[in-house]
Amino acid sequence: MRRSTTTALGLSAVCTVLALTGCASHDASADASAPAHQGGSTPSVSAPLSPTQLNQRLLNESDLGEGYTRKPEAARHNDDVTVIGCPALEKLGGDTATGSGLDFARKAKVSFAYSGSSSSEVSEELYSDSASKLSTGIGKVFDAMLSCPSYQVASGSTVVDMGTEKSAAPDVGDEQWSQLLTFSAGGQRSVVKQTAIRSGDILVVVSGSPGLVDAHLDKALAKVRTAR
């Protein structure tokens, strides 16, 4: 059975939900060669935001309210995270495995735990690049993940059974994508929601407990827009 390195979104969710032992940071970069599949305004060309500008647009504890604690960035490990049984995800792996996230010009990320519970977490990722590249790259990743209702992700000696289904995305921003990911491993079962919104040359990806994603997505998008 062929194995290849998994995509950034899938790995991010696995790490967020299960905190896998030896969870790797060698995520696959999204290939930006396919046409966009979502509707939206005509992409415009502009210079990517700087890392400082992106970090200023990330949510913080005061934006979220009481009960949220920022989580330190996970340490990097050498174990590869691989996807098993999903040809579309395998195709995105291989030679693209050297990146640490989606293959966009700029990125920033933050994660929070809610009320000290490891099962109630929310993370935000911001990417900046040309609108066309953001649209194509994220669309291809979501298409690949949704093409396989079930597959497995392995990290070291841990194998996680995964299920993916499309979720309704709010009609905000220029383009929208959303999915529900189900994880089963070691007798544990968790559900993560991932919603991605492209607003001009910024891509906002909010992942975590479905209720927390729904509660804070608008805040994340508003902060991106008002900080311009």
Residues 170-216: tens digit of each pLDDT: 999 999 999 999 989 888 888 999 999 999 999 999 999 999 999 99
* pLDDT (0 to 100) of residue 77: 53
Distance, CA of 203 to chain centre: 10
- Vertex 132 angle, CA 146 and 217, to 5°: 60
| Domain 3-226, architecture per CATH | 3-Layer(aba) Sandwich (3.40)
Sign of CA dihedral 39, 41, 46, 51: negative
Which regions of the chain are under pLDDT 70? 1-46, 74-80, 93-102, 116-119, 228
Beta strands in the chain (DSSP E): 3-5, 68-70, 81-84, 106-114, 117-128, 150-155, 158-166, 175-185, 188-199, 202-208
* pLDDT (0 to 100) of residue 195: 95
Residue 61, amino acid: E
Q: Identify the three-state secondary structure at position 29.
A: coil
Q: How far is Cα 143 from Cα 138, in angstroms, rounded to an integer? A: 9
* pLDDT (0 to 100) of residue 82: 79
Q: How far is Cα 186 from Cα 28, in angstroms, rounded to an integer? A: 25
Q: Bridge-partner residues for 181, per DSSP? A: 164, 192
Q: How far is Cα 81 from Cα 14, in angstroms, rounded to an integer? A: 10
Residues 190, 216: contact at Cβ < 8 Å?
A: no
* pLDDT (0 to 100) of residue 29: 32
* pLDDT (0 to 100) of residue 22: 32
